[in-house]
Amino acid sequence: MADREELFFKKKNVYDTISEDDRARAFAYAGEYKRFLDSSKTEREAVREAVSLAEGMGFKRYAPDMELAAGAKIYTTVADKTVFLAVIGGRPISEGVNIAAAHVDSPRLDLKQSPLYEDEGLAFFKTHYYGGIKKYQWVTLPLALHGVVIRKDGSRADIVIGEDESDPVFLITDLLPHLGKEQEKKTLGEAFTGENLNILLGSRPEGEEKESDRVKLAVLRILNEKYGLIEEDFLSAELEAVPAGRARDLGLDGSMIAAYGHDDRSCAFAALRALLDAREPERTAVCVLTDKEEIGSEGMTGMQSAAFEDFMSYLCGGLRHAGRTFSKSFCISADVCNAFDPCFPDVSEKNNSAFINRGMAVMKYTGARGKSGSNDASAETVGFLRRLFDENGVAWQTTELGKVDQGGGGTVAMYMANRNIETIDAGVPVLSMHAPFEVVSKLDCYMVYKGIRSLYERKM
């Protein structure tokens, strides 16, 4: 007769189960991940960094005449914002591939196309936010500007201001509490409007007192001298305001990381690192780092783009063959989920929440209002992952996004599953998701790396 121990499912803290060696590896891995975070604050930077790490490990940009023998390492990029990488496996590709798909865009404030204006002696940038943000979190916080500007003559300026210790930063102001009586009566959603998220960037005038827009002129002068820009160049620019500064250890014990963009760089780095480290995969291993997840995965650099079919048809020798390969493939949609927050227990149901330090969080389904807009993975799919992870010492847990009807969300999972690829969501649990600084546990990040690597190296 089975005893209590056997019958009950007991959830465990990874610190109680992890080996000393693995814990040391997890903390070393966290150090690498923090470096990736610091060099990859935008989708373009993440793609550039991924390509540079991959090339360092012998990956080559794909060309049609390339021989794709077992062990070949290739990649291709889409508009510098999405990257597909693959290690060719020992078995024929028609037997299916193993995919981890993560995204490298994060919520932020984009500059509008005509952003620069002056008001009462102060210069500002108008912004249009990207992705789901709580607007009140983005005021009185040091911001950095990252992005590219295409000048009138077609040349390009790469811009990063606010990350170096000697750089200035930018900021959105807020009302002082002394005059906040009316503001405080408003709801969180009403008190800060998207149109009011204006970034302060100058106060020093140039020229004669009687002239207008003297601060704006001085700002343009600086941009012209440093980057050769004129105001019209903002029309063809992508400048993103993100929280300034580096990823930091969080907590006295240094067990967590506070940083901008854990969603979804924690999974993107795990997928990338796992591919770079994968030893002689039997099936071809594919890593997708995609753009535009935060705004619906649309467009040529999003997960719905035909660019993925294009890449896979290269590997499979034609689009028709890619379709057959998809039907035998497996995809981990590697994305973060919400971690249970003891300070906000009401929105979650404890038996079905991910917790910090309990490992890689598997989400059978996402969606909202009765799982709508979700890839609801099958029992067989969860069963496969369960055996895979258990056999490879991957600490994992299951979760769903909050209580039933509390809200909802989605990932790229359904776009992979719509291609006839067996797909499941799994990733790192995050506290304060979509805030300027998000929180993850080092052990959880490492378990996601281990989980994805076990898929790439699977023997089953």
Q: Does 422 bind Mn ion (CB under 5 A)?
A: no
Q: Looking at beta carbons only, is 73 or 135 nearer to Mn ion? A: 135
- Report the residue number, 43 or 263, with the smaller CB distance to Mn ion: 263
Q: Which CB atom, from 262 or from 458, has the smaller least distance to Mn ion?
A: 262
- Region from 17-25, 47-55, 214-222, 328-336 binding Mn ion, contact rule CB under 5 A: 328-336
Comparison of 263 and 422: residue with beta carbon closer to Mn ion: 263
Residues numbered 349-378 forming contacts with Mn ion, rule: CB under 5 A: none
Strand partners, 424: 332
Residue range at the interface with Mn ion (CB under 5 A); choices 330-338, 363-371, 376-384, 452-460 = 330-338
Q: Is 263 in the site for Mn ion (CB under 5 A)?
A: yes
Site for Mn ion in 226-255 (CB under 5 A): none
CB of 336 to Mn ion, least distance (A): 5
Cβ-based nearer residue to Mn ion, 245 or 410? 410
d(CA 176, CA 136): 14
Residue from 43, 49, 335, 422 touching Mn ion (CB under 5 A): that is 335
Q: Does 264 bind Mn ion (CB under 5 A)?
A: yes
DSSP letter at 196?
G
Decide if 348 contacts 403 (C-beta within 8 A). yes
Shortest distance (Å) from residue 454 CB to Mn ion: 22
What would the two tokens of residue 352 be? 């079905």
Instruction: Report whether 415 contacts 308 (CB < 8 A).
Output: no
In the complex with Mn ion, the residue whose CB is nearer, 335 or 400, is 335
Closest approach of Mn ion to the CB of residue 248, in Å: 21
**Cβ proximity to Mn ion, 233 vs 264, nearer residue:** 264
DSSP labels, 348-409:
S-GGG-B-TTS-EEEES--EETTTBT-----HHHHHHHHHHHHHTT--EEE--SSSTTS-EE
Stretch that binds Mn ion, among 34-42, 141-149, 262-270, 302-310 (CB under 5 A): 262-270
String of DSSP letters for 121-165: TEEEEEEEEESS--GGGGSSS-EEEEEEEE-TTS-EEEEEES-ST
- Least separation, in Å, of the C-beta of 77 and Mn ion? 20
- Closer to Mn ion by CB, 110 or 233: give it: 110
Q: What spatial distance separates the first Cα and last Cα of the chain, rounded to whole Å?
A: 31
> Is residue 425 a contact point for Mn ion (CB under 5 A)?
no
Binding part of the chain for Mn ion, among 184-192, 207-215, 333-341, 365-373 by CB under 5 A, reads 333-341
Least distance between Mn ion and beta carbon 104 (Å): 10
- Of residues 81, 145, 106, the one with CA closest to residue 302: 81
- The conformation of residue 170, written as its DSSP 8-state character, comes to B
Q: Among 4-12, 23-31, 113-121, 329-337, which window interacts with Mn ion (CB under 5 A)?
A: 329-337
Total of residues contacting Mn ion (CB under 5 A): 3
Measured from the CB of residue 335, what is the shortest distance to Mn ion in angstroms?
A: 4
In whole angstroms, give the CA distance from residue 276 to residue 58: 9
Residue among 459, 386, 458, 399 at smallest CA distance from 428? 399
List the 256-259 sheet strands across, edge first: 248-250, 256-259, 438-441
**Least distance from Mn ion to the Cβ atom of residue 290, Å:** 10
CB of 409 to Mn ion, least distance (A): 7
Smallest distance from Mn ion to CB 46, Å: 13
- What DSSP element (H or E) covers 197? none
Instruction: Please give the single-letter amino acid code of residue 285.
Output: A
Look up residue 266 and give its DSSP letter.
Answer: H
Q: Summarize as ranges the residues that interact with Mn ion (CB under 5 A).
A: 263-264, 335
